[in-house]
């Protein structure tokens, strides 16, 4: 990865933290250099500062998020208006369908799970809380992309499909259909044997109403067969109920 020459000193710290947060396991210096595009001397300076403040831990040359990050995560769980407004409806949808339900957002060209209600069935599908995948495939990604502001979507697709105009055009056509239908469906696009349906959650801001997240229901493909429309309808109703709650908050 080549570092953007416009990245400021403060942003270099954020590059390191974002790399650690999204990697999923402890990182070597080589891993971090590749993920951030920073020079080695610059990387060491950022890591030293983050270690001093408790944002990074060092275990024999492998780096991971530090204990202060846990406090941030706990504060997010307690204080996030989006999570709080969504949790009860997500639990209701999971009980009604007996499937897993996630609250998903788009950030830094990734799909990130903010909250997950697990199915009680022994065979179940889930998207681990905090997990991130590229914003280009799967029901969650397509729902988020379809209902983004046009300019944001165009810029995101430009980064995700640089040099692959055919794949971008195919996805844009699919996104048109998702906007018309009101939800996205995928089968085995991210994880084999996993079917998903995702519907947008809208929140009114000073700049108007816009999609801020998606509700995604996940099920084994074999169990979703024959129930696709019913599961989609329930998911859309749940997303609409959360949107109404947020816009009245």
pLDDT tens track for 19-72: 887 777 889 999 999 888 888 999 989 989 888 888 888 888 899 888 777 667
Residue of 232 and 15 predicted with greater confidence: 232
Q: What angle do CA 166, 170, 176 make, to 5 degrees?
A: 145
Q: What integer is the mean pLDDT of 163-167? A: 92
pLDDT over 50 at 1, yes or no: no
Containing 34, the helix (H) or strand (E) segment is helix 29-36
Q: Is the pLDDT of residue 162 over 50?
A: yes
Residue pair 102/86 in contact by the 8 Å Cβ criterion:
no
Task: Return the pLDDT at 244.
Answer: 92
Domain locations along the chain: 9-71, 80-248
Measured CA to CA, the distance from residue 85 to residue 153 in angstroms comes to 26
The helix/strand/coil state of 101 is strand
Give, in words, the CATH class of 9-71: mainly alpha
Average pLDDT for 207-222: 83
CATH no. of 80-248: 3.30.450.40
Token pair, residue 243, equals: 């949107």
More confident residue, 187 or 59: 187
Give the model's pLDDT for residue 74: 61
């Amino acid at each position: 990865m080549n570092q953007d020459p416009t990245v400021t000193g403060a942003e270099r710290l954020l590059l390191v933290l974002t790399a650690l947060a999204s990697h999923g396991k402890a990182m070597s210096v080589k891993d971090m250099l590749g993920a951030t595009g920073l020079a080695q001397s610059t990387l060491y300076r950022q890591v030293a500062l983050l270690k001093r403040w408790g944002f990074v831990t060092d275990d024999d040359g492998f780096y991971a998020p530090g204990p202060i990050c846990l406090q941030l995560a706990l504060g997010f769980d307690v204080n996030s208006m989006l999570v709080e407004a969504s949790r009860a409806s997500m639990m209701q949808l999971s009980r009604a369908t007996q499937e897993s339900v996630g609250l998903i957002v788009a950030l830094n060209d990734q799909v990130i799970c903010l909250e997950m209600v697990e199915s009680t069935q022994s065979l179940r599908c889930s998207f681990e809380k905090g997990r991130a995948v590229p914003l280009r495939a799967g029901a969650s990604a397509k729902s988020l992309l379809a209902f983004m502001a046009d300019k944001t979507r165009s810029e995101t697709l430009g980064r995700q499909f640089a040099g692959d105009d055919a794949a971008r055009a195919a996805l844009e056509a699919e996104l048109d259909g998702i906007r018309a239908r009101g939800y996205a469906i995928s089968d085995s696009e991210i994880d084999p044997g996993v079917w998903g349906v995702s519907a947008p959650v809208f929140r009114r801001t000073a700049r108007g109403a816009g999609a801020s997240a998606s509700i995604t229901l996940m099920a084994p493909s074999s169990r979703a067969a024959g129930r696709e429309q019913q599961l989609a309808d329930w998911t859309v109703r749940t997303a609409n109920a959360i949107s109404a709650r947020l816009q009245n908050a």
